[in-house]
């Protein structure tokens, strides 16, 4: 069975994030349109305004900062009933409004929404739907424009 390969475009100044498909409205895809093309394993990607951006694995210093931030935030916020979630974890910011063309994987995010936490813990939903209370993006040179421009505009 042949699978169709999606074209990959590299944004200027980046080696780690790749939009898949073009940037014209006809080339934009929703999550449902993209998933049949992923072969059994979900690669790391984000969808912003219908454009799919592939993501490479994080580097050592990114992960070191990431781990230390998670420990500190979790120690401070867990007693207050909040959850500190780690990437990779799917966040559909506007899912409730029917938007499947914006999906992100923030490095860390915090939710204190007890209904969301209850559904996640009970495995009633596998992903976060809505806007978290707090989002953390750890900047690295190869992702800086992606995080500071595209994702910041969306957040």
- Write the CATH number for 100: 3.90.1570.10
Instruction: Let me know if residue 71 belongs to a domain.
Output: yes
Domain range spanning residue 68?
60-154
pTM: 0.67
Tally of domains in the chain: 1
Instruction: Let me know if residue 47 belongs to a domain.
Output: no
Which of 1-10, 59-68, 121-130 is predicted with the least confidence, judged by mean pLDDT? 1-10
Range from 46-60, 64-78, 110-124, 131-145 that averages highest in pLDDT: 64-78
Mean pLDDT of the chain: 75
| pLDDT score for 42 | 64
Instruction: Let me know if residue 83 belongs to a domain.
Output: yes
The strands making up 108-111's β-sheet, listed across from edge to edge, are 83-86, 108-111, 134-136
**Rounded to whole angstroms, how far apart are CA atoms 92 and 128?**
6
The tens digit of pLDDT for each residue in 96-134 reads 677 778 889 999 999 998 888 888 888 777 788 888 889
Instruction: Let me know if residue 26 belongs to a domain.
Output: no
DSSP string, the chain: ---PPPPB-PPTT-SSEEEES-SSTTT---HHHHGGGS-SS---EEEETTEEEEEPPPPHHHHHHHHHHHHHHHHHHGGGT-EEEESS--EETTGGGT--S-BB--SEEEE--HHHHHHHHTTS-SSEES--SEEE----TTTHHIIIIIIHHH-
């Amino acid at each position: 069975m042949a699978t169709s390969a999606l074209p990959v475009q590299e944004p200027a100044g980046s080696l780690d994030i790749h939009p898949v498909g073009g940037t014209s409205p006809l080339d934009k895809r929703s999550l449902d349109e993209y998933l049949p093309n992923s072969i059994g394993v979900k690669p790391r990607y984000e969808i912003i305004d219908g454009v799919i951006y592939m993501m490479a694995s994080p580097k050592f210093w990114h992960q070191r900062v990431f781990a230390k931030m998670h420990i500190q935030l979790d120690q401070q916020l867990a007693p207050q009933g909040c959850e500190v979630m780690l990437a990779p974890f799917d966040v559909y910011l506007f899912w409730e409004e029917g938007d499947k063309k914006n999906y992100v994987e923030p490095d860390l995010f915090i939710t204190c929404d007890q209904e969301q936490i209850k559904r996640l813990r009970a495995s009633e939903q596998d992903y976060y739907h809505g806007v978290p209370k707090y989002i953390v993006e750890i900047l690295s040179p190869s992702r800086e424009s992606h995080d500071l421009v595209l994702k910041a505009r969306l957040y």
